[in-house]
Structure 1
Amino acid sequence: MDRKDRKDRQGRMDRRTFLGMLGAAGVTIGLAGPVGPFALPASAAADPAPGRAPHQPFMHGYDAASLKSWTPQSDRWAKYFRSRVPLATRIAPFAATQANPDLETGAQLMNLSYDYDNSFFTAYKYNDVYARRLLRFWQYTDLYGSWHGMPVDGSPTDEPDHGLINLPNPGYTDAAHRNGAKSLGCWFWPRNGEFADYLEQRADGSFPVADKLIEMAEYFGFDGYFINQEAETAPADAAKLMEMLKYLRTQAPEGFHVQWYDTIMVNGKLDYQNQLNDSNAPWIQDGDTPVNNSLFANYWMPDDAQVEKSVETAKKLGLDPYDVVFHGTENEKYGYNPPYDTRLVFPEGKPARTSWALFGSHFAWDRYPDRENPDAQPAVFQRERRYWSGPNEDPTRTGRTEYVPWPNEDDGKPRDADNHKKWDGVARYITERSVIGAFPFVTRFNTGHGRAFFLDGEKASSREWNNASIQDLLPTWQFWTRSDGTPVTVDYDYTRAYDGGSSLRLSGELGPENATTVRLFKTALDVGGDERLSVTFLTGRAGAESGLEVGLLFADDPERFEWLPAGRAEGAGWTTAVRRLDAYKGRTIAAVGVRVSAAKLGEYALNIGELALLGGSAERPQAPAGFAVDQVHVAEDGKTAEVFLSWQLKGQGVWYYDIHRELPDGQRESVGRIYDEVYYVKSLARAGTEGTTRLQLVAVSPDGTRSAPASADVRWS
């Protein structure tokens, strides 16, 4: 049987398997693999959403009727699911500071993945659970696609009716934008209803659904859509869909991105091509008319002929293969050991042939059996590092250490899916990116969730939480360590933090023979002369020599760090050391790292709570205006309340807003943090029998300077 026959047979199997799994409710959703789509468990759809508060906003999907009639005012929770963080600009590549200086920078990465937990009725921007998936490796992603599936608003939990469209989680969009990555919503067909209902065209040639897709993306703050038309489509509907997508492309704003999954032909037949070729190219460019921006090629990739065909077809269209072709790898089902070799896209020692698409990078969390146990999260984090940074958990030492090729046919059954030694690591093929191109730069190593919340080094709340929206810029390299001996261990610490939920901890046996350097951030910071470096650290021992130095690596001498010692701990708590940078005026900081050392061998532990590169004098932001309590829903026992807050969002000069409460003993308790103009408090605890709880809202500037507070009162009766 030749390759074409094998491909056609697999395509038919995809279709048959898919329809069998779909069911009348359209609950099971998946992306096609060589033997059919991977379906989400049916139990997920029937989940009655335990833990959801009675008035807690959650996201939903959109069918034809709700798309055509959509307005922000009619969508009952729309204002609570907006991303307000603008898309950051990434700095120019600089090979000298790359983990692999020889790795070329052209290939892009699409990461099609779900967000926190993929639950259909618990899709929140933030919530009160620590053990949830948070992506810590945005530096390799160019496009993030939200693979989720959501029931339409009002759909029953036992037989949910999913919409064609689900929006990306705005918390993830905020994190993506902060790191310079675009965030895409998801289109998935088949669903209940008639597809023709989505294709309505007005007399003036416009398409109501296309117009609403653009309007919704602009309102909710994301950057386009991933389109998975994964079902046989009537020829007339396929032709009208092509027309609608052309219209969408002409009407969309600059930078809007629509990616097409390798599914139907122009006549509507479902036939995975596993490449860009003449048969599916019209979905990217029909003659001279642009349609979709890029193609996510299906995974069936037995040799490099298909990849070369994609390159040839893109060039024939006058397009850059890196811009329009993303060959896919399926990790959700196959984990670290997918059946088709990534080296077909990235031949060893040669430039990448096309860009790369990942499906299911969430497997590192989702496929871990104890994933919802807070104490088991370090193992989940390790799985994630092995996926992105390679089996050695170091982006400078990537590459599989064990590999047995799959048989020619993929039978759909995972093989050794948890064996990280069979996976090269994303960092082997995709260069790290950074947005740190201007002062100030401040990070607290806050990953976006925690077992408590800290302010100024003190625990300000003992509650668990997750909020990807407030994730800091995390280290570019996780983790690039060097030592003449055994380096100390580097990891996030959720038991101690200076601000947020986590800090960076360096620990292990340390002595004169194994001083350890940790390269942390890729930057392009031009020093004008009045800048300063600030590092906040914790040793736990008053007066102890920290052994900590912060290193600056300059573009004009990228092989040698300039080291600035942090000095001694001022007490048993957090110490902040500040060093001026005027000696480096006129130079460009290309990377930042730290080094720890000890005069004699012994156990060592140090937490870094904040690392900041600051400009001139700090400007205090104005106190927020319009802070108000919009709704209060007191629980029957009178001890807790759900609270809806709002204020006027200041577009520039604010990094985020902090919400606190005043306790009767004078202490402050953290209630929430967000960059938005609204906030939902899930469970405000009443202090005794107090009749009023005073909340304070503080604006925080990009350099960490805090405004005077604005106040609003929650009344318990």
Structure 2
Amino acid sequence: MNPTRRTVLLAGAAAAFLPALPTGTAQAAPKATAALQPYASYWYPDSLPSGSPGPGITWRSLKSWRAATDADLPFNAASVPLAPRFTPTPVNTTARAGQARVQSLVSFGPTSSNPSQGSATADYYALTHWAYIDELVFWGGSSGEGLILAPNAPVVDAAHRHGVPVLGNVFLPPAAYGGQLQWTRDLVRKDASGRYPLAAQLVAVAAAHGFDGWFVNAETGGGNSALGADMLGFVKELRRLATAAGQRITWYDAMTVNGSVSWQGALNGQNQAFFQAADDMFVDFRWSASSLAASGQKAVQLGRDRYALWAGVDVESGGWNTSVDWDAIVPADRAHIASLGLYRPEWTRGQLPAGHTPEDFHAADDRFWTGRSLDPSRPDTADSWRAPALSVADRSTVAALPFATAFNTGHGLRWYEDGQAVSERPWNHLGLQDRLPSRRWVVRTDGRRPAVAFDFADAWRGGSSVLVTGALDRPAELDLYATRLPISADTVVELTHRTDTGTVRLELAVATVDPDAAGGAPPYTYLPVPAGSGDGWRTSVVRLSGLSGTVHALGVRLTATGGGPVGWRLGGLCVHDGTDTPAAPSGLRFTAASGGDLRLAWEHPAPGTVRHYTLHRVLPDGTRAFLGGTGQRAYFTGGQTPAPGEPAVRIEVRAVGELYTSSAPSTVTHPW
């Protein structure tokens, strides 16, 4: 990889580690003098750089890491298992199922000082187009901070909810960026029995943190054939151990079998052994149409899938303006040649001007993933940017009851509960992201197409809602979810909605089979939604009377019933055949305290029933102040100060179920 593509980020404050307290409701937590903010983990293989780390950086050795002594692990361990997903009939005639896949290499934050559980800003790369992604690489690493990155829990939880595996990153940087060959030797060093201890460590880290494997990127030059042989042995053992643990390994086309670094831009004799040792390989950006074609043929000759090759496309500086020979990867008139490896698509956020809004970000991200038409059912084939939605069929994980969404994108300007803003602070936490519509935004109408977007000015829960605006001179049908939801006599659909402008007749659109062919509209049945009364948010319940089998698609049809433009919001959608409330958390306790910085932990008797947890501070007058939410059974809150006459801080934790029902609170106090 060309070193000019590297961004070395150094900033922030390091985490401090403290022991846990016994369970209790009025315990004084151990005091600390260092900040307690937990951050995503990163390491060197073994030996550390000379000198001292920069501000906010902690140098750690992977060789010495142990889960039992990692006090930040409860904040960094994912809580959502990898969801199975299915491929519905493609929404257009250009997208293919079972051919090219998409790998996305994303830097969500700096290597050091990357918060474990979100932060107090809405300006974040809140990736939502998971439906087109098959593998996410948590990109980063630098010679001055650490080379091995474990993805933070919010990213893993959001990806897993949408069925996307997440890989940590092993980055051995070029010498021009401070890379030292000693670090490569540390990584592949064998023990007395001929095993590779750090291969086992990597698998243990992924298992403890709950992510899905590793992206191995060895770019430090100066090696020889002996080092190449050791690296090959290391990758073979890493994959063997990873496979046994349900993990996967991707190799980056950099180091060759002779130990040198020489980016091939192809699968050939210089890297074939590494490809065979790994699950798949990222082909460096130097590829050509002929080298990719030959690489695909070679993969097949080796008994491998040609789509196990990710053809690298560098979008870090150009985004959708990047010039790409698309026909060399995903030709429109014949079978795809290879899979697509997108390097740094967070450009969609980075290219925005100062002062941009969450709406600005999502408009840019929709343009990147869906294409210029902003409607995957109407792909713009004349667009020079061949967006993933034009080539790759979308996938869905909405296949079991109950299912609910508040269209929460994982960041916001405020936090809403039941339509009320309970916190005016901006925030991000991808782990709180809901399963989101994959086909954004498919609108079918004989009239003028209304605008559809995530909106952050108001929400029912979380930070966002779906806003439809426009003339609505003809009825408009909006696709929401491809599903596989079983229908019983008790199945109902609840929609929480609000009309801001004009008057709208709302119908629920339900299809019990897929379209007959790609590009076809779901064969919807339209069920009237009770109008309700009064202004503001309302929740309408629709029984699926007369329908049986399985729901394959859900949408809404909007018809304007008065003159003028319409503004309509969808704040929530639930499908269920009975409600349930989760049990309350147990064992709530403070595990560390430093002034107003507090760490808490708890257990839950049935964690699989919990969507996430919410935390509130109870003030002396009985009012509740929202602190935040998380999927983990540990939480950090910083900067708390005593209210007048308050002897102790009191915090409540509630478990929130799939249908957003909240448990009774568990409460703990800590003397100031």
The TM-score, its normalising length taken from structure 2, stands at 0.89
Q: Find 1:107's aligned residue among 100, 103, 111.
A: 100
Counterpart for residue 77 of structure 2: 82
| CA distance in structure 2 between the aligned counterparts of 1:685 and 1:175, rounded to whole angstroms | 32
Counterpart for residue 524 of structure 1: 484
Q: Find 1:208's aligned residue among 197, 204, 213.
A: 197
SS in 1 for 2:485: strand
Q: Which amino acid aligns with 1:332?
A: E
Q: Find 1:56's aligned residue among 37, 45, 54.
A: 37
- How far did 1:664 drift? 4.4
SS in 2 for 1:107: coil
Map residues 270-419 of structure 1 onto 2, 5 A cutoff: 270-285=261-276, 291-303=277-289, 305-322=290-307, 324-370=308-354, 373=355, 375-399=356-380, 401=382
| CA distance in structure 2 between the aligned counterparts of 1:105 and 1:352, rounded to whole angstroms | 10
Task: Work out whether 1:554 is the aligned partner of 2:512.
Answer: yes
Change (3 A) 1:337 1:51: farther
- How far did 1:429 drift? 1.1
| CA distance in structure 2 between the aligned counterparts of 1:618 and 1:101, rounded to whole angstroms | 40
Change (3 A) 1:125 1:148: farther
Say if 1:259 and 1:292, in contact at 8 Å, map to a contact too: yes
Q: Which amino acid aligns with 1:552?
A: V
Counterpart for residue 236 of structure 2: 246
Any idea what the Cα deviations from partners look like across 1:631-675, whole Å, max 9, x if unmatched? 3332xxxxxx22211101433222211212334454433212112
SS in 1 for 2:203: helix
Counterpart for residue 53 of structure 2: none
Q: Find 2:611's aligned residue among 646, 655, 677.
A: 655
Say if 2:117 and 2:630, in contact at 8 Å, map to a contact too: no
- How far did 1:428 drift? 0.8
User: For this pair of structures, how many residues does the alignment match?
Assistant: 627
Counterpart for residue 164 of structure 1: 147
| CA distance in structure 2 between the aligned counterparts of 1:119 and 1:216, rounded to whole angstroms | 17
- How far did 1:593 drift? 0.9
Task: Work out whether 1:631 is the aligned partner of 2:592.
Answer: yes
- How far did 1:101 drift? 7.2
Counterpart for residue 568 of structure 2: 606
After TM superposition, the structure 1 stretch with the greater mean CA deviation from structure 2, 342-351 or 441-450, is 342-351
| CA distance in structure 1 between the aligned counterparts of 2:414 and 2:80, rounded to whole angstroms | 24
Counterpart for residue 415 of structure 1: none
- How far did 1:582 drift? 4.0
SS in 2 for 1:64: coil
Map residues 25-44 of structure 1 onto 2, 5 A cutoff: 32-33=1-2, 36-40=3-7, 44=9
- How far did 1:84 drift? 1.5
- How far did 1:430 drift? 1.3
Counterpart for residue 667 of structure 2: 711
Q: Which amino acid aligns with 2:579?
A: A
- How far did 1:51 drift? 14
Counterpart for residue 8 of structure 1: none
- How far did 1:545 drift? 5.4
- How far did 1:540 drift? 4.8
Say if 2:530 and 2:541, in contact at 8 Å, map to a contact too: no
Q: Which amino acid aligns with 2:486?
A: D
Change (3 A) 1:99 1:524: farther
Q: Which amino acid aligns with 1:143?
A: E
- How far did 1:188 drift? 0.8
Counterpart for residue 28 of structure 2: none
SS in 2 for 1:327: strand
| CA distance in structure 1 between the aligned counterparts of 2:503 and 2:623, rounded to whole angstroms | 32
| CA distance in structure 1 between the aligned counterparts of 2:659 and 2:529, rounded to whole angstroms | 20
SS in 1 for 2:546: helix
After TM superposition, the structure 1 stretch with the greater mean CA deviation from structure 2, 574-583 or 186-195, is 186-195
Counterpart for residue 94 of structure 1: 88
Change (3 A) 1:430 1:448: same
Q: Which amino acid aligns with 2:265?
A: N
Q: Which amino acid aligns with 2:671?
A: R
Q: Find 1:572's aligned residue among 535, 543, 563.
A: 535
Task: Work out whether 1:698 is the aligned partner of 2:657.
Answer: no
Counterpart for residue 618 of structure 1: 579
Say if 1:399 and 1:425, in contact at 8 Å, map to a contact too: no
Q: Which amino acid aligns with 1:262?
A: D
- How far did 1:102 drift? 5.9
Q: Which amino acid aligns with 1:694?
A: R
| CA distance in structure 1 between the aligned counterparts of 2:639 and 2:537, rounded to whole angstroms | 30
| CA distance in structure 2 between the aligned counterparts of 1:561 and 1:575, rounded to whole angstroms | 24
Say if 2:310 and 2:338, in contact at 8 Å, map to a contact too: yes
| CA distance in structure 2 between the aligned counterparts of 1:557 and 1:355, rounded to whole angstroms | 26
Q: Find 1:197's aligned residue among 186, 200, 210.
A: 186
Say if 1:391 and 1:424, in contact at 8 Å, map to a contact too: no
| CA distance in structure 2 between the aligned counterparts of 1:301 and 1:194, rounded to whole angstroms | 28
SS in 1 for 2:359: helix
Any idea what the Cα deviations from partners look like across 1:259-296, whole Å, max 9, x if unmatched? 111112100122222121233111122xxxxx111010
Map residues 93-172 of structure 1 onto 2, 5 A cutoff: 93-95=87-89, 98-100=91-93, 103-115=96-108, 117-118=109-110, 120-149=112-141, 161-172=144-155
- How far did 1:431 drift? 1.0
Change (3 A) 1:590 1:459: same
Identity, % of aligned pairs? 29
SS in 1 for 2:238: helix
- How far did 1:76 drift? 4.2
Any idea what the Cα deviations from partners look like across 1:515-547, whole Å, max 9, x if unmatched? 221111111112122211000112258xx9542
Q: Find 2:212's aligned residue among 205, 223, 227.
A: 223
- How far did 1:426 drift? 1.3
- How far did 1:581 drift? 1.7
Change (3 A) 1:387 1:49: farther
Q: Which amino acid aligns with 1:199?
A: V
Say if 2:184 and 2:220, in contact at 8 Å, map to a contact too: no
SS in 1 for 2:639: strand
Any idea what the Cα deviations from partners look like across 1:547-593, whole Å, max 9, x if unmatched? 222211221666421122223243222110011124212x2211111
| CA distance in structure 1 between the aligned counterparts of 2:105 and 2:622, rounded to whole angstroms | 47
Q: Relative contact order (C-alpha < 8 Å, sep 6+): which is higher?
A: 2
SS in 1 for 2:211: coil
Change (3 A) 1:300 1:260: same
Q: Which amino acid aligns with 1:80?
A: F
SS in 1 for 2:404: strand
SS in 1 for 2:313: strand
Q: Which amino acid aligns with 1:243?
A: G
Q: Which amino acid aligns with 2:311?
A: H
Q: Which amino acid aligns with 2:35?
A: P
- How far did 1:198 drift? 1.9
Q: Which amino acid aligns with 2:540?
A: A
- How far did 1:461 drift? 1.0
- How far did 1:143 drift? 0.4
Any idea what the Cα deviations from partners look like across 1:313-352, whole Å, max 9, x if unmatched? 1111111112x21111110023223333122111112221
Say if 2:36 and 2:636, in contact at 8 Å, map to a contact too: no
